[in-house]
Amino acid sequence: MAVATKKMVYFFGNGHAEGEGDMKVLLGGKGAGLAEMTNLGIPVPPGFTITTEVCIDFYRSGEKWPEGLEAQVKEGLERLSVAMGGARLGDPNNPLLLSVRSGARVSMPGMMDTILNLGLNDQTVQGLIQRTNNPRFAWDSYRRFIQMYSDVVLGIEHEEFEKLIDARKAQKGVKLDIELDADDWKSLVDEYKELVQKRLGRPFPQDAWEQLRGAIDAVFNSWNNPRAIKYREINGIPHDWGTAVNVMAMVFGNMGPNSGTGVAFTRDPATGEKRFFGEYLVNAQGEDVVAGIRTPEPVSRLEQEMPEVYRQLVEIYQKLEHHYKDMQDIEFTVQEGKLYMLQTRNGKRTAQAAVKIAVDMVHEGLIDKKTALLRVEPKQLDQLLHRMVDPKAKVQVIAKGLPASPGAAVGRIVFRADDAEAWAKRGEKVVLVRAETSPEDIGGMNVAQGIMTSRGGMTSHAAVVARGMGKCCVAGVGAALVDEETKTLKIGEHVLHEGDWITLNGSTGEVILGQAPLVEPSLAGEFGELMQWADEIRKLGVRANADIPRDARAAAQYGAEGIGLCRTEHMFFAPDRIKAMREMILADDTAGREQALAKLLPYQKSDFIGLFREMKGKPVTIRLLDPPLHEFLPHEEAQLKELAAEMGVSVQKLRERVESLKEFNPMLGHRGCRLGVTYPEIYNMQVRAIFEAATELAKEGFIIVPEVMIPVVGIEKELELLRKNAIEVAERVMAEAGVKLEYRIGTMIELPRAAVLADQIARQADFFSFGTNDLTQTTFGFSRDDVGKFLGVYLQKEILPADPFQTLDQEGVGQLIRMGVEKGRSTNPHLKTGICGEHGGDPASVEFCHRVGLDYVSCSPYRVPIARLAAAHAQIKYPRA
């Protein structure tokens, strides 16, 4: 019983398409694009699209064609024949040649195959020769078809055919395909057919309809080939979407001097400049352009060579850009003076181009600001904010590590932080190379152009500090052997010594021999304009992590609205301070500690004055001492001796004290507020310094609201005690100064216990700042300094989708953050919430923070623009009141 069957085939051609651009679900991306171009009156070779529904049916019914499909495809072929002036599939005199391509709802590049020149056989090849008067072209086309069809449909490897070509070239003593003539290709067609017969035990299909059926089946089957399945799993594409099949008339750019093929962009994809930009080759096929055998001409030359085609092309590209309201990447073919468009899609572009195009298009009235913002990926901005190795330069890459902190560095190798300082003092540019860095190296890192380590991951000390400094870092160069004793760096056969030149590419992780040329970042006017639109839209605040005035200045320049994290410990590593710090640590009692702390107070105070001045009244959150004390002590014998002499104690006593401070797991040790509880005098000094600085500036007219942040809190009573202490000191200092300031005392939420008991802790806090680095460490039980030992395998085996220290683990760590926010607000509705740490500058994590209702994120100064844009994206996608 015949029932009215569903429409399964959508025709396009002769200025009209049955489908439309918004039918991607049914027709796939390519099919919808071809339909859309056809409807716009743009010349597209005619053809038809078999819908994705057919593919789904095909699988449901055990890989059989649904009833009615054959009839609809044949009807499509009829209409195609009409559109092509009577050429018919398999007609020996006027053969119609087809391309068959897949086309899923979303682009799955390289996943499924394409078959060109379908319809050629021993008869139709003759017809092609007659009609083109070009036997070489015809035989070459035929052998290409056999090769491609055999590979995709019949399952005979491409290489087997290539071997036959190689044999023939060897026999003729030539090297290139173009040196083979019509007869060679004709013979090869025979050899190809023999090969197929031998492999399959049956001849290559001569029936054009059989060819087409096989090709369509092959495209359907390719939807479930292993690499396609894998690709969908990785990208979260449902397996039941299916693919469409596009069957199109072939057009040829290699039919003589009035034929050609080209690729173009409607604007410059490198700079964003509004100019038509592309290349073409006369008398060539797309493959030839890719093969790079001939050098293509710039598309503008077409204006002289084929003025009418060029005029058409310009009209078309303008129409397409206007229609799609985005820069297009187009492919075209000219067959004997007639222009055909084969594809149009949104073009890939550099960050700089993305920004310029988006802003220009707003000014041109093409798109609105929100659309413009969404056109720039926040991550791309990273490229704009750092010096780069000149992409055009030829360089010798000798190793690859992790791209730990973007940018580039050229310098002479030094192996010790103090060497770095010494060399820098005499004006040398240096790159600090170490197995790993420790807080003691901070001075050397500060003066180095960049840092390379052989150990440690994306969140190792070197990486974190370098990112904070906006300094290039390549970490975890596994192939490098760093010998700090002999001052040699061994990478494969290369042995580098102190003073040798090296270049680091922190954006790719490459280690380059010698001095590579660099290019400076340029923040063009469009960048600032886009950032301003982002600020108008976003609801999430963006602050920066900055410890010193220089960083604070950078933060302000990059648009930070305050400092979300000032780590006070880095201040203690300066040579003039570390001594007093060590005195404090090694003191026998409270009195001794207080004496040493009194020496540190003026330093801290001046640090804070510097920060407050730079931030000009914007909020500054200062975290009290966080790392365990042993991080400040020397570990090497020589340094121990020096310190002992300086401090007037025996080396033995000093060693014992250093030994007694050692910890098995410093990350989980005597640090953060635990120091504040056991040695209240330390935090008291710091709070005093903050309020002395703030009151002093207040007298100068600054409006300052200091935010004191207490780290590593896990128990309400910790915070209760330390808050009480801090308030006492603050009130005392303000009374002394005769100045009354508003101030806030809050805490880091960086332990799971703090998150699950946030309702208790919020009773003692004016604000929460989620310390997602440590929270990730404790939630996963991952030491970020050690995770490199297995993280690679985890990513490779897809146990983790991403490094959780770079992209927030939303379902695990994120669940604790959400719990922390909700519980915290349940007992303290005025609680301010933010995050600081690496994730504050990661776009996906910023989006999460927006959705979870945080007030702000805080990140490295150099990632502030990224966070601003990401926050705008988040607001556009998930509007918040």
Catalytic residue ranges: 461, 836
The nearer residue to a copy of itself, 186 or 753, going by C-beta atoms, is: 753
The nearer residue to a copy of itself, 380 or 773, going by C-beta atoms, is: 773
d(CA 310, CA 818): 57
d(CA 845, CA 4): 51
The nearer residue to a copy of itself, 267 or 823, going by C-beta atoms, is: 823
- In angstroms, the Cα distances linking 783 to 453, 569, 804 are 18, 20, 12
Least Å from the CB of residue 229 to a copy of itself: 17
| Of 523, 524, 647, 756, the one binding a copy of itself by CB under 8 A | 756
Cross-strand bridge partners of residue 647? none
The nearer residue to a copy of itself, 692 or 774, going by C-beta atoms, is: 774
Q: CA torsion sign, 793 to 794 to 798 to 803?
A: negative
Least Å from the CB of residue 834 to a copy of itself: 20
Least Å from the CB of residue 664 to a copy of itself: 4
- Binding segment (CB under 8 A) for a copy of itself, from list 69-77, 168-176, 590-598, 753-761: 753-761
Least Å from the CB of residue 479 to a copy of itself: 14
The nearer residue to a copy of itself, 266 or 684, going by C-beta atoms, is: 684
- The answer to whether 451 and 431 have CB atoms below 8 angstroms apart is yes
Instruction: Give the relative orientation of helices 182-200 and 135-149 as an angle to the nearest 10 degrees.
Output: 20
Least Å from the CB of residue 625 to a copy of itself: 14
| Of 15, 617, 634, 666, the one binding a copy of itself by CB under 8 A | 666
| Of 66, 443, 634, 669, the one binding a copy of itself by CB under 8 A | 669
Which run of H or E residues covers position 565? strand 563-567
Query: Nearest 5°: CA angle at 192, between 189 and 194?
Result: 115
Least Å from the CB of residue 836 to a copy of itself: 17
Least Å from the CB of residue 650 to a copy of itself: 15
Tokens read off for 243: 């693919």
- Binding segment (CB under 8 A) for a copy of itself, from list 234-242, 464-472, 664-672, 736-744: 664-672
Instruction: Tell me if residue 133 falls in helix, strand or coil.
Output: coil
The nearer residue to a copy of itself, 782 or 856, going by C-beta atoms, is: 782
Instruction: Tell me if residue 45 falls in helix, strand or coil.
Output: coil
- Binding segment (CB under 8 A) for a copy of itself, from list 257-265, 583-591, 681-689, 745-753: 745-753
Binding mask 777-816 for a copy of itself (x = CB under 8 A): xxxxxxx-xx--xx--xx--xxxx--------x-xxx-xx
Which run of H or E residues covers position 362? helix 351-363
Least Å from the CB of residue 303 to a copy of itself: 57
- The answer to whether 246 and 51 have CB atoms below 8 angstroms apart is no
Q: Does residue 291 bind a copy of itself (CB under 8 A)?
A: no
Backbone dihedral angles phi then psi of residue 614, each to the nearest 5 degrees? -60, -40
- Binding segment (CB under 8 A) for a copy of itself, from list 118-126, 665-673, 733-741, 856-864: 665-673
In eight-state DSSP terms, residue 4 is -
All residues at 6 or more sequence positions from 627 whose CB lies less than 8 Å from its CB, including other chains: 439, 569, 666, 671
The nearer residue to a copy of itself, 508 or 783, going by C-beta atoms, is: 783
CB atoms within 10 A of CB 101: 25
Q: Does residue 769 bind a copy of itself (CB under 8 A)?
A: no
Q: Does residue 66 bind a copy of itself (CB under 8 A)?
A: no
Q: CA torsion sign, 213 to 214 to 215 to 218?
A: positive
Instruction: Tell me if residue 246 falls in helix, strand or coil.
Output: strand
Binding mask 687-726 for a copy of itself (x = CB under 8 A): -------------------------x-xx-xx--x-----
Least Å from the CB of residue 662 to a copy of itself: 9
693: nearest Cα among 593, 615, 764, 765: 615
Name the residue with tokens 């005979």.
Answer: 156
Least Å from the CB of residue 771 to a copy of itself: 11
- Binding segment (CB under 8 A) for a copy of itself, from list 119-127, 296-304, 416-424, 658-666: 658-666
Backbone dihedral angles phi then psi of residue 62, each to the nearest 5 degrees? 75, 45
Name the residue with tokens 């707003």.
Answer: 362
Least Å from the CB of residue 68 to a copy of itself: 43
At 628, which amino acid appears?
P
Tokens read off for 690: 């903050």
The nearer residue to a copy of itself, 521 or 752, going by C-beta atoms, is: 752
- Binding segment (CB under 8 A) for a copy of itself, from list 21-29, 77-85, 607-615, 663-671: 663-671
| Of 753, 763, 825, 851, the one binding a copy of itself by CB under 8 A | 753
d(CA 285, CA 255): 9
Backbone dihedral angles phi then psi of residue 762, each to the nearest 5 degrees? -65, -20
- Binding segment (CB under 8 A) for a copy of itself, from list 328-336, 400-408, 666-674, 725-733: 666-674
Q: Judged by CB under 8 A, how many residues of this single chain contact a copy of itself?
A: 48
Task: Provide Rg for the chain, Cα atoms.
Answer: 34
Backbone dihedral angles phi then psi of residue 430, each to the nearest 5 degrees? -125, 155
350: nearest Cα among 507, 467, 504, 503: 507
In eight-state DSSP terms, residue 151 is I
d(CA 775, CA 853): 18
**Chain residues that interact with a copy of itself, rule: CB under 8 A:** 663-670, 674, 677-678, 712, 714-715, 717-718, 721, 750-753, 756-757, 760, 774, 777-783, 785-786, 789-790, 793-794, 797-800, 809, 811-813, 815-816
